[in-house]
Structure 1
Amino acid sequence: MQQDSLVEYGSRRAIITITAILCALLEIVDTTIVNVALNNMKGSMGATLSEIGWVITAYAIGNVIIVPMTSWLSQQFGRRNYFAASILLFTICSFLCGNAHTMWELVLFRFLQGVGGGALLVTSQTIITESWPAEKRGMSQAIYGLGVIIGPTLGPPLGGYIVEHFSWPLIFYINIPIGIIALMLTLQYVRSPKYSEKKTAKEIDWWGIAFLAMAVGSLQYVLERGQEDDWFSSSPIVMLTITAVLGFYFFIWRELTFKNPIVELRVLKNGNLRIGTILSFIMGFGLYGSTFIVPLYLQTSLGWNAQQAGMIMVPAALLTAFTMPIMGALLQKGAKPQYLAAMGMFLFFVFCLWGHQIISPMTSGDDFFWMMLMRGLAMGMLFIPVSTMSLSTLKGQEIGQGAAFTGMMRQLGGSFGIAIITTFMTVSNAKYRDDLVSNYRLDNPMFQQQYSGTVANLMRNGMPPNLAQSAAYQMLNGKAMGQASVLTYMDVFLYIGIMFLICVPFILMIKTGKEKVDMSEAMH
């Protein structure tokens, strides 16, 4: 077989594997490393929470747009050349992100960094798989899977340490030496397969690419800015909603009728893959959503610094690393992937319910420690079983098309998830605050008691009566905002948890094929 010609041995295989994992980790860590730096960026850029969210989502959009195109680009330019060019783009954009002077400069460079990064993620998986012999491909999959799941969790602690001891641009500059080393190793050691056919410019699905970019970009903007722009009373929001709907409609039509579609939608006729696609989206929502809200809550509500907020994620990452090879071994021994995935989904629900229960202004780090361990266990149980289950009844080339689809949906789940969570938090915060402040009336005995007590305390400390009354009201208003924030975070955890719980019965209904999936086929 063609791919066996790329099998490497000894130190050469080790170097290629390390290079590919390094590139995959670079890409994935960069998805979440900015999470704990958002407060610092917001201050130095003079941006709102909604605007700064674009630093994360622009990167994710770049990822999502490039992933379906990666296979064609590899064939057109040669895998090694394309991989090296992606590393170079990623590294240059890392420097430009750290050097950005305005908010929208940073967003643009993050988008371009995401375009380079998406290729690193997909191509590194192919390179690792093809450099290992067929009988050891299960091990190569476990190695790659560790990077995919642990990467998002490693981002916050690394980002936290950098922000606390240095400054936020360094979270981007740190990529530069690693990128240069990876580029040199790629040019020296990585080989390209000989492709039997190259598509000409006329055979490229340019319209499919344009419709996908138009639909995803417009929908992302609507989700991000809708609340701030008062939804459909804003002309840009209305126009972009229409653009998103038409973009998706024409994208689906194009992919179902074009000879060489950029995304093979016909493969979704397979029932397992349809469910697996939805599960991948939800998994991305939970994976990236939880690495967004936990550090944000710890910093904004509990006053933790960036490093403390990031370090809480480390034990979960270690538990995920420990759990994933066990899942791989269980599947090799014939364990049903749907049972393992259902258990993972249920444990993630337990993690969310735990978060819902313990969140308060007095929550301690110890409480979060055990809760985050539950998240690490759940994520470790999800990735390989969901991938295996999704592809279990596909054959040949369909496996590669299905794997590309689930990977794209996982990225979309993360991208849209953060946008939806940010919007929901803005709406919910305002609602809870209004409800609480509406009780601040002098004819309300409870408010009167709190207000009078606060005024008396301030006057005892030497404050004049008129200033004490004003300060007391401000203090109670601040307290209401704190309570509204806690209630909002409680809701976010609860609703994400319910979403995972709903998946459990659907997973158990999936029938998997009797043959084991050759995961190496999923790389093409």
Structure 2
Amino acid sequence: METGFTKWIIVVTVVLCCLLELIDTSIVNVALTQMMGNLSATQQEVTWVIASYGIANVIVIPMTGFLAEQFGRRNYYFVSVVIFTLASMACGQSTNIWELVAFRFIQGIGGGALMATSQAILIDTFPPKQLPIGQALFGMGVIIGPTIGPTLGGYIVDSNLGWPWIFYVNVPVGILAAIFTLTFIRDPERIKNAIPRPLREIDWMGIGLLILGVGSLQLVLEQGESEDWFESTYINTFVLLAAIGVIGFVWRELTARQPIVDLRVLGRSRNLAVGAVLSFVLGFGMFASVFIFPIFTQRILGFSAAQTGLMLLPGALASGFMMPVIGRSLQAGVPQKFMIPLGFGIFFIFTFWMAQIISPNAGPDDFFWPLMVRGLGMGLIFLPITTMSLAGLKGKDAGQAAGLTGMIRQLGGSFGVAIVGTYLERSIAQNRVSPLAHISLYDANTVQRIQAFTQNFLAHGFPLEQARKQAYYALEGILMKQVSIITYSQVFTMIGAFFVVCLPLVLLIKRVKITGKVSMDAH
């Protein structure tokens, strides 16, 4: 266990790395339009900038335990930071869309290692009694990262620096993190003395099935909506590959003598198994709510990306600052079994509140307190789930558990974004049908509204025929705005209902006291 100054420098290092990785999951979203123009890319092509990063992430994360043990944790962490940093520079230098997609995939390979390996480093840095504080500081990065991504990206795009700078900002932080890694992070004795597996003993089949199954699943979730889901042969093919890969991967990892990902650890710890499911729920709510809110504020209310990011920032900061308080509470003996339901309840209040206040006239002040409530709920969910999942595990099991929960949280976020995006697009079309029954040229109110719009456009110099067309367009715009608001309200209600349905899982948690001197030399 590290002590004093070194311990806190290690915390700063891993939090910086986690921020880098998570900011890049969302920072590119606000620059896609600019990329399309500069790189002559279509809407379909530019979505691969996001998809390639997510696919690489979700493939690498579960393998981090094995890779850290095979090459040494510090070496693997350092190389991952370097790969991420160099790939960030290369992304900014890209001259066409497919160069950018390729470098984003490489960036995702480096970034995917940072999350799970950071958790293993913290487990080894802090004694069990102090681990909730270390995990709390780690949680600050996890919660704040996806939220400040759009804010930072919005400022970069709005300031006319150009989209490459959303990648260049990673470079100085990556260099600093690499220096700190080499200087302060040390491998535990178990890894120092470990003999790497010979190449012939590595679970190559497990690696192949993991890439096929999880990679195909992530691709389906990222590209399904744009390809019209199961109406597409392309998507159906990858659904089949995902099913074959995932089933084959689970079978292989449960039967292999030295699996690349030891799924048997789920059977050795009931709390880890429950924590894995709750991590999926956490990822679903965290990423889906951050995904849907900017779409609403920018499409319906007309806010800029920077304005939207600023609205999200106070809640994320509140969640981050709450983390040490929650960590202290866990350290003092407050059971995770009590905190998690409280967090679920608070998050449900956020979704219910948002469903009620959404309107065409809503402004930043209307969203301030609901988003603060979201931040509090996320803090009360993330840290108890993380500490509960890893409590009592040591050595290789702790590293495997960190990788598994990280992958499942990422998949939960992908499922959340995919489901919410699909529901949003299809429900807007369905919800449009009902109001149309009340809009007719034989309806006096409709005729009166069209005449008022026509007179307004005539007053602004439009010819009569053009004024009438513009009047119909204006009426259609009002209709779609009202329909969209109803649909966004339904989406927030749906997210909250999902949390309520999953709440009984908390009853399966077994209380583990955070005390004692447990050996946790995880890789």
Check whether TM > 0.5. yes
* Worse-superposed segment, 40-49 or 414-423: 40-49
Per-residue deviation, 1:47: 5.9
Quote the residue 1:329 is aligned against.
328
Cα gap change, 1:56 to 1:375, in 2 (>3 Å): farther
Query: Aligned to 1:140, which of 125, 134, 139?
Result: 134
Query: Aligned to 2:52, which of 58, 65, 71?
Result: 58
Query: Aligned to 2:89, which of 89, 92, 95?
Result: 95
Structure 1, residues 111-145: CA drift from partner, whole Å, max 9, x if none?
A: 22111011122223333443445654443222222
SS at match of 1:95: helix
Structure 1, residues 436-475: CA drift from partner, whole Å, max 9, x if none?
A: 5565532344433322332233234443322221111122
Cα gap change, 1:278 to 1:47, in 2 (>3 Å): farther
Cα gap change, 1:367 to 1:455, in 2 (>3 Å): same
Per-residue deviation, 1:299: 1.9
Is 2:269 the partner of 1:275?
no
Quote the residue 1:241 is aligned against.
239
Quote the residue 1:502 is aligned against.
501
Is 2:157 the partner of 1:163?
yes
Per-residue deviation, 1:58: 2.7
Counterpart amino acid of residue 189 in structure 1: F
Query: Aligned to 1:111, which of 105, 116, 126?
Result: 105
TM-score, structure 1 normalization: 0.90
Is 2:79 the partner of 1:85?
yes
Quote the residue 1:190 is aligned against.
185
Per-residue deviation, 1:434: 5.2
SS at match of 1:265: coil
Counterpart amino acid of residue 521 in structure 1: M
1:174-253 matches, cutoff 5 A = 174-193=169-188, 194-253=192-251
Structure 1, residues 243-271: CA drift from partner, whole Å, max 9, x if none?
A: 11111111111111111112222233344
* Worse-superposed segment, 64-73 or 265-274: 265-274
Cα gap change, 1:19 to 1:396, in 2 (>3 Å): closer
Quote the residue 1:405 is aligned against.
404
Distance 1:499 1:114 in 2: 29
SS at match of 2:520: helix
Counterpart amino acid of residue 453 in structure 2: T
Quote the residue 1:368 is aligned against.
367
Distance 1:196 1:438 in 2: 72
TM-score, structure 2 normalization: 0.90
Quote the residue 2:294 is aligned against.
295
SS at match of 2:280: helix
Distance 1:51 1:346 in 2: 40
8 A Cα contact 1:59 1:113, kept in partner? yes
SS at match of 1:303: coil
Structure 1, residues 28-48: CA drift from partner, whole Å, max 9, x if none?
A: 222222344345445555667
Unaligned runs of 5+ in 2: none
Distance 2:85 2:352 in 1: 40
8 A Cα contact 1:22 1:182, kept in partner? yes
8 A Cα contact 1:138 1:519, kept in partner? no
SS at match of 1:312: helix
Cα gap change, 1:17 to 1:225, in 2 (>3 Å): closer
Distance 2:479 2:103 in 1: 38
8 A Cα contact 2:120 2:398, kept in partner? no
Distance 1:139 1:131 in 2: 11
Counterpart amino acid of residue 116 in structure 1: G
Is 2:26 the partner of 1:27?
no
* Worse-superposed segment, 462-471 or 221-230: 221-230
Structure 1, residues 484-513: CA drift from partner, whole Å, max 9, x if none?
A: 332332222111111112222331453324
8 A Cα contact 1:320 1:379, kept in partner? yes
* Percent of aligned positions that are identical: 47
Is 2:298 the partner of 1:285?
no
What is the RMSD of the two structures over their aligned residues, measured on CA atoms?
2.7
